[in-house]
């Protein structure tokens, strides 16, 4: 369907931008459903986001935005209303522009990750999880794993205080959550999840010493490009089952599309 003056606009806010997959995924969805809309990349740096925000509120043909690194937390502060998942995590990745310009947002990363595990046959309930990283994506995954009823949720982050703050926030919403904070020690873990950015860029060190991971543990990523990170490649070479980053986004697409009224 050609883009005309009547075509509705959707976009993704990101920096860097080259690796984002949302334009391809959503434009395929528009084509499939015969919707006159287009999804484009908006490359904005962190320090420009707040100044750029009024444009998106004012853009009358904008249906909504997806936010990814490094904008998820900043978008939560800029939006006019947050759904519970966005409030809990203090970060959002899906923003609907209401016809009056109000921006309503939520976060589907956590639900998408858990749905991705399940879609691949890995039920997290009752499992012992080591989660690497306590940033925006890590928080979303941690909250969703706590909600899914894991048996242990160990948080390991380079800056330990950040992991401790996340643990406290999780207990605030889920008082009985079995959250602990510690080193990147996978002993007894059933699932190891990397939510750090290590693996996105060539030459990154591995986020964990792969040989310490129990052979029966599942090693999961949320990085989408490269599809198979050095961590996943190393884990696979050690005989571990692996879980690709793309499942988190794949499982979010229908949730995002509903929220954006696509």
Only one of the segments 39-47, 110-118, 126-134, 184-192 lies at the binding site for its own copies (rule: CB under 8 A); that segment is: 39-47
CA-closest candidate to residue 25, choices 249, 259, 223: 249
Does 5 help bind its own copies (rule: CB under 8 A)? Answer: yes
Q: Cα separation of 81 and 203, whole Å?
A: 40
Which of 32, 60, 100, 237 is in the footprint of its own copies by CB under 8 A?
60
Does 39 help bind its own copies (rule: CB under 8 A)? Answer: yes
Q: Cα separation of 45 and 47, whole Å?
A: 6
Does 55 help bind its own copies (rule: CB under 8 A)? Answer: yes
Q: What are the strands of the beta sheet with 179-181, ordered from one edge?
A: 179-181, 152-156, 128-132, 191-194, 218-221, 241-243
Count CB-CB contacts under 10 A for residue 148.
Answer: 21
Active site residues: 72
Site string for its own copies, 15-34 (x = CB under 8 A): x-xxxxx-xx--x-------
Give Cβ neighbours of residue 47 (< 8 Å, ≥ 6 apart): none
Burial level of 82, CB count in 10 A (0-12/13-18/19+)?
Answer: buried
Does 14 help bind its own copies (rule: CB under 8 A)? Answer: yes
Does 227 help bind its own copies (rule: CB under 8 A)? Answer: no
Count of residues interacting with its own copies (CB under 8 A): 38
Burial level of 188, CB count in 10 A (0-12/13-18/19+)?
Answer: exposed
Which of 1, 36, 54, 182 is in the footprint of its own copies by CB under 8 A?
54
Does 53 help bind its own copies (rule: CB under 8 A)? Answer: yes
Question: What is the closest distance, in whole angstroms, from the C-beta atom of residue 138 to its own copies in the complex?
Answer: 22
Does 197 help bind its own copies (rule: CB under 8 A)? Answer: no
Q: Which is nearer to its own copies, 99 or 205 (CB)?
A: 99
Residue 87 and residue 104 in contact, taking contact as beta carbons nearer than 8 Å: no
Does 203 help bind its own copies (rule: CB under 8 A)? Answer: no
Site residues (vs its own copies, CB under 8 A): 2-7, 9, 12, 14-15, 17-21, 23-24, 27, 38-45, 48, 51-56, 58-62
């Amino acid at each position: 369907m050609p883009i005309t003056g009547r075509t509705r606009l959707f976009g993704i806010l990101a920096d860097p931008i080259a690796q984002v997959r949302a334009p391809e995924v959503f434009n395929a969805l528009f084509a499939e459903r015969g919707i006159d809309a287009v999804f484009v990349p908006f490359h904005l740096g962190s320090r420009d986001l707040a100044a750029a925000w009024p444009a998106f509120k004012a853009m009358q043909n904008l249906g909504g935005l997806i936010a990814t690194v490094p904008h998820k937390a900043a978008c939560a502060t800029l939006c006019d209303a947050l759904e519970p998942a966005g409030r809990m995590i203090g970060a959002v990745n899906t923003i609907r522009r209401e016809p009056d310009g109000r921006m309503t947002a939520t976060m589907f990363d956590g639900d998408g990750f858990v749905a991705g595990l399940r879609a691949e046959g890995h039920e997290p309930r009752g499992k012992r999880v080591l989660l690497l990283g306590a940033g925006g994506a890590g928080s979303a995954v941690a909250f969703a794993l706590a909600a899914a009823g894991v048996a242990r949720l160990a948080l390991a982050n380079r800056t330990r205080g950040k992991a401790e703050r996340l643990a406290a926030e999780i207990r605030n919403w889920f008082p009985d959550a079995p959250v602990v904070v510690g080193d990147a020690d996978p002993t007894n873990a059933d699932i190891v999840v990397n939510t750090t950015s290590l693996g996105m860029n060539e030459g990154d060190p591995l986020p964990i010493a792969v040989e310490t991971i129990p052979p029966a543990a599942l090693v999961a990523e949320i990085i989408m490009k490269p599809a198979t990170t050095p961590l996943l490649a190393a884990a696979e070479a050690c005989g571990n089952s692996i879980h690709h980053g793309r499942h988190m986004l794949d499982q979010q697409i229908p949730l995002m599309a509903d929220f954006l009224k696509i």
